[in-house]
Structure 1
Amino acid sequence: MKKTKCLIVDDEPAAHYVLQNYIKQNPQLELVHQCYNGIEALNYLRSNSVDLMFLDIDMPEITGLELLATLPDPPTTILTTAYSEFALKSYDFGVFDYLLKPIFLPRFIKSVERFLASQKVETASDICSSFLVKVDGAMVEIDFQDVLFAQSYGNYVKIFCFKKIYVASITTSELESLLNTNNFMRIHKSYIVAIDKIKSFDKNNILIGEETIPIGITYKRALSDKLKSE
């Protein structure tokens, strides 16, 4: 598997520590270099290429946006900053995403997953075959094909697979954004199911494996339309 080469550009060591830790937990990412100001980044990028740059805006000498304006062909960039007022202006520079500090892991994962899905560095099946969630403090990779359904569980989500149940540190909405919407669907405020794993259904419930799962009133029409199209 070809890894995505990442560069961190930030004048704060604490920001480097957070991003370095997040990148390390993702097997599809590789941190190849770290810069502490825009001049260092400019010099590095003159002779090196990266796939993804995590770039702070407010830095001494030249700002992150000034760096982007200087580079003739900047890498795909995710801005990282504590100042939300730069958000709208930043998209004039063609940035991929904008992460507001403090950066929390679920938001980082969502941004990176969107980036990976947009790239053509691997076959479509490789890109979309799995997703990452945090379980017991560690990142776990789960194959889409192994998932039966997911259930809200307080501040966590239980992900039911063929051989194991994972209790992931993520919200149901965040998990929904990671899953392939062609085969996964929210059928209740507390449940997301794999459409191809449904054994049977009636107007109030579906059966997946040995589990009977309720269908929420607001989701009945959409689910019925989806199952008819399958």
Structure 2
Amino acid sequence: MNCVIIEDEKPAAEKLLSLLAVGSQQVYVEAVLGSVKEAIDWLQQHATPELIFMDIELSDGLSFKIFEQINIECPVIFITAYDEYWQEAFEHNSIDYLLKPVKPEKLDAALKKYQKLKQHFTGNYQTLANWPATQSQAGYKKRFLVKRGTDYISIKAEEVAYFYATHKLVCMVDSSGQKFIMDQSLADIETQVDPTSFYRVNRKYLVNMSAIKRIKTYPKSKLLLEVVPLVTEDIIISQENAAAFKQWMGQ
């Protein structure tokens, strides 16, 4: 497959090139582009590749700006050191979201996913790009197995009020206020729950819509969220995320 890499850090780009060279999939890299501007210029002058590997935080801004200037119709695999852009990435042709440092098995799995989707959609890349939005809800977790003392119990997804990260731990709080320690990262859990029900409001909280009690305005165009069961700290939604959150609430 022909692909393009958009990555501003030379060591990261070289590592990705080496992983692609020894991977199970045959990949031809047409170009390595190091900035938003360079990517826009290249994509304006060349045919759309089959696949793009895209970092998010580039030297001259977020790579999402590229989509404002270029109509990218091919799928994108985002590769970043940050997990807070997951929601926005899947609004921009993403078929996978890999965290740095990239593990060979994760990259290989992402490429195999691309090939399976490509075969399924028989080359219709626009449909492929829209695949995450049309994915069946049947693919999301219905229950979470958690530990309480020496026992394990199963919690229905709809009974979860929110997940939150604290002191390198991730906890689940159910609608009755019970708290359970999870053995997964918040980013991993976010990919497992139905995005029409759960929203990553900030880096710390992943909230079920049914747990939202009140939304208040906050200085600098931010939002303040009140949830039940109550929490002892303010849950703030950034100005950048506020519009997307309100759109999600009004779905």
- Scaled by the length of structure 2, what TM-score is found? 0.45
- Scaled by the length of structure 1, what TM-score is found? 0.49
